[in-house]
């Protein structure tokens, strides 16, 4: 084919850098947004933080500041600043204007994040700084610390370190003793009896039951550390050692026959075993606590539900008036070009933050308007809601609503919920209406909580009770909702009471 020039007309959607920045800020959580704002403050001298107690100027921060010269007061700041030229101040006056303490670039609160709730009071003698500031301790670290306090030979200590490395986060020994013996150098001549003896010493460490090879041994280790005068201790040891499978299958009649106990006596023995921890390693929490900062606060005032942004979560920004005044319109020098670009980026960033807050408020207001029954009465009054409903109400695309509701939290009188919590599918009712899946889960949870522990409700029975309330749900759907709530099947919920 012969190359030629062809003129065509078409439309193409292009995402500008401003739009990309707005979308990226929109999907950030509050903690990530705070980090993004801090990085912007450090990299852009035109941006500054609006401190509490300062006057707030309602003038448009996005006005074109390049139309002014250095003589005029800038119009793109949140607050007017009064500055006096240095040459207009006499020498004597200059020394009098210098304060005794000059301001610094950072404040104490910016470097050391403290809160009044974490500081000790005058009468708090039991306040422990390490419990509030130290990092989480792993189970292996906790066991090694106890090992360093135990008198032991070098060989036994090496065996103990190997055994501790083989203990998982739940506190159980994952490897068999034979495999651990084979892992040592043959020249060390480590025998199975020696490894088992060291294991018994580790099993006396804290937490009780650590180093067990199965559930039976874990329960027996914890029972052995109880006082000898504990009621029903010997019966509990016998049950855990010989009849644990019957206890797991809830075969109480067989247990009463084999252990020759009455129903009340067997119940007390089972209560003692249930007081033990089947996962002793879970007592040692190694992960750091994760804090949730609500983006939106919902409260009731004069019989009306009010929605407002959490102003303390995101700092207010403004354009630095003094630096913006240095930008000259007709100057094409490198310094002036740099300041002009930084000024424009600061405006874009502030505008993106404003757009994020406006979108978040629109979506949160619509969610509250739709789920007013939940705020009044709880989960059972939750209405079906999908992204399309909110997108149609606020005039936005569903993908935008999805970004807004991801990792954004709402503080309500009933607790803190992610915005996605208020969205759920629906199930038809016998009267032609719709019932939210969240409401069905709440009803199932309520029915299970009120059931007879001796005769727990099966999934079919729960489906029948829901149908009696006009909610048509299949048995397999009930099973799916029950599993999502972490509720065991009826055969495992049976209790001896």
Percentage of the chain with pLDDT > 90? 23
Calculate the average pLDDT of the chain.
80
> What pLDDT score does 126 carry?
52
Please report the pLDDT score of residue 427 as a whole number.
75
User: Which residues are within 8 A (CB) of 473 and not within 5 positions of it... i.e. 6 or more apart?
Assistant: 427, 440, 463, 466, 467, 481
* Position 174 pLDDT exceeds 80: yes
Q: Contact, 443 vs 469, CB < 8 A?
A: yes
Question: In the numeric block, which tokens belong to residue 151?
Answer: 């008198």
Q: What is the pLDDT of residues 72-118, one digit of tens each?
A: 333 343 333 333 444 444 444 434 444 444 444 444 444 444 333 44
CB 97 within 8 A of CB 89: yes
- Of 140-154, 211-225, 416-430, least confident by mean pLDDT is 416-430
Tokens of 464: 């029948």
Question: What average pLDDT does the segment 171-186 reach?
Answer: 88
Q: What is the pLDDT of residues 98-111, one digit of tens each?
A: 444 444 444 444 44
Name residue, tokens 């970004």.
Answer: 403
Contacts of 73 (CB under 8 A, 6+ apart): 80, 321, 325
Higher-pLDDT residue of 354 and 430 is: 354
User: CB under 8 Å to 97, separation ≥6 — which residues?
Assistant: 89
Mean pLDDT calculated for residue range 274-297? 82
Q: Is the pLDDT of residue 473 over 80?
A: yes
The answer to whether residue 364 scores a pLDDT higher than 90 is: yes
Alpha-helix residue ranges (DSSP H) falling in 395-452: 398-405, 437-449
pLDDT at 430: 65
Indicate if the alpha-carbon torsion angle 306, 312, 313, 319 is positive or negative. Answer: positive
- Cβ-defined contacts of 465-474 (< 8 Å, 24+): 466/440, 467/430, 469/443, 470/429, 470/430, 470/431, 471/427, 471/429, 471/430, 471/435, 471/440, 471/443, 472/427, 472/428, 472/429, 472/430, 473/427, 473/440
Residue 319 carries which DSSP code?
E
Residue spans per domain, the chain: 139-283, 426-493
Which residue stretches of 203-333 are H helix?
Answer: 215-224, 233-242, 244-248, 252-259, 263-274, 321-324
Homologous superfamily, domain 426-493: Homeodomain-like (1.10.10.60)
**For residue 289, is pLDDT > 90?**
no
pLDDT class of 130 with cuts at 50, 70, 90: very low
Q: What are the residue ranges of helices labelled H in 72-176?
A: 91-97, 108-111, 130-133, 139-148, 154-165
Q: State the pLDDT at residue 1.
A: 64
Tokens matching residue 93? 């006056």
Q: Give me the pLDDT at residue 191, please.
A: 87
- Please, what is the Cα angle at 401 between 397 and 402, to 5 degrees? 115
* Entry field: residues in the chain: 497
Helices 398-405, 334-370: crossing angle, 10 deg rounding? 90
Q: What percent of the chain has pLDDT over 70?
A: 80
Q: Collect all residues with Cβ–Cβ distance below 8 Å to 430 and sequence separation of at least 6.
A: 467, 470, 471, 472
Confidence of residue 125 (pLDDT cuts 50, 70, 90): low
Closest CA to 243 of 269, 209, 277, 213: 269
The count of other CB atoms within 10 Å of the CB of residue 163 is 23
Predicted structure pTM score: 0.62
pLDDT at position 109: 45
Residue 78 is predicted with a pLDDT of 34
Lowest average pLDDT, out of 71-85, 149-163, 168-182, 184-198, goes to 71-85
Question: How do 409-412 and 296-301 pair as beta strands?
Answer: parallel
Please list, residue by residue across 309-338, b when 16 or more beta carbons sit within 10 angstroms of its beta carbon and e when fewer do.
beeebbbebbbbbebbbbbbeeeeeeeeee
* 101 class by beta-carbon count within 10 Å (0-12 exposed, 13-18 middle, 19+ buried): exposed
How do 304-309 and 296-301 pair as beta strands? antiparallel
Residue 412 is predicted with a pLDDT of 93
d(CA 75, CA 60): 7
Instruction: Report whether pLDDT(65) > 50.
Output: no
Extract the tokens encoding 173. 């020994």
């Amino acid at each position: 084919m012969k190359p030629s020039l062809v003129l065509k007309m078409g439309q193409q959607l292009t995402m500008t850098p401003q739009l990309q920045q707005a979308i990226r800020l929109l999907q950030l959580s509050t903690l990530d947004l705070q980090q993004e704002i801090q990085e912007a403050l450090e990299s852009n001298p035109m941006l500054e933080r609006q401190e509490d107690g300062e006057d707030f100027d309602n003038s448009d921060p996005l006005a074109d500041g390049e139309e002014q010269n250095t003589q005029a007061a800038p119009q793109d700041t949140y607050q007017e600043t009064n500055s006096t030229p240095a040459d207009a101040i006499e020498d004597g006056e200059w020394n009098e204007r210098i304060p005794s303490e000059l301001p610094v670039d950072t404040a104490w609160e910016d470097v050391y994040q403290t809160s009044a709730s974490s500081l000790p009071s005058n009468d708090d003698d039991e306040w422990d700084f390490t419990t509030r500031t130290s990092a989480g301790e792993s189970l292996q670290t906790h066991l090694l610390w106890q090992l360093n306090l135990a008198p032991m030979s070098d060989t036994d200590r090496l065996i103990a370190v190997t055994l501790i490395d083989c203990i998982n986060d739940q506190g159980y020994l994952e490897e068999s003793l034979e495999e651990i013996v084979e892992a040592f150098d043959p020249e060390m001549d480590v025998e199975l009896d020696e490894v088992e003896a060291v294991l018994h010493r580790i099993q006396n460490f804290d937490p009780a039951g650590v180093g067990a090879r199965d559930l039976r041994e874990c329960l027996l280790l914890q029972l052995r550390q109880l006082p000898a005068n504990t009621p029903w201790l010997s019966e509990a040891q016998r049950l855990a050692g010989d009849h644990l499978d019957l206890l797991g299958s809830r075969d109480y009649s067989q247990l009463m026959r084999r252990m020759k106990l009455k129903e009340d006596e067997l119940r007390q023995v089972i209560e003692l075993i249930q007081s033990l921890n089947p996962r002793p390693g879970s007592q040692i929490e190694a992960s750091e606590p994760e804090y949730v900062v609500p983006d939106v606060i919902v409260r009731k005032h004069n019989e009306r539900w009010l929605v407002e942004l959490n102003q303390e979560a995101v700092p207010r920004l403004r354009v630095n008036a003094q630096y913006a005044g240095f930008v000259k319109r007709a100057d094409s020098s490198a310094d002036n070009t740099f300041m002009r670009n930084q000024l424009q980026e600061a405006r874009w960033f502030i505008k993106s933050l404003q757009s994020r807050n406006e979108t978040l408020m629109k979506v949160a207001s619509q969610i509250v308007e739709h789920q007013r029954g939940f705020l009044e009465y709880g989960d059972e009054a939750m209405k079906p809601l999908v992204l399309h409903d909110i997108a149609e109400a606020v005039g936005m695309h569903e993908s935008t609503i999805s970004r807004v509701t991801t990792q954004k939290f709402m503080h309500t009188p009933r607790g803190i919920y992610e915005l996605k919590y208020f969205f759920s599918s629906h199930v038809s009712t016998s009267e032609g209406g719709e019932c939210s899946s969240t409401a069905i889960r709440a009803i199932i949870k309520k029915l299970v909580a009120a059931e007879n522990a001796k005769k727990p409700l099966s999934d079919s029975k729960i489906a029948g009770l829901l149908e009696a309330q006009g909610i048509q749900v299949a048995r397999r759907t009930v099973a799916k909702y029950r599993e999502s709530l972490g509720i065991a099947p009826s055969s495992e919920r049976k209790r001896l009471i």
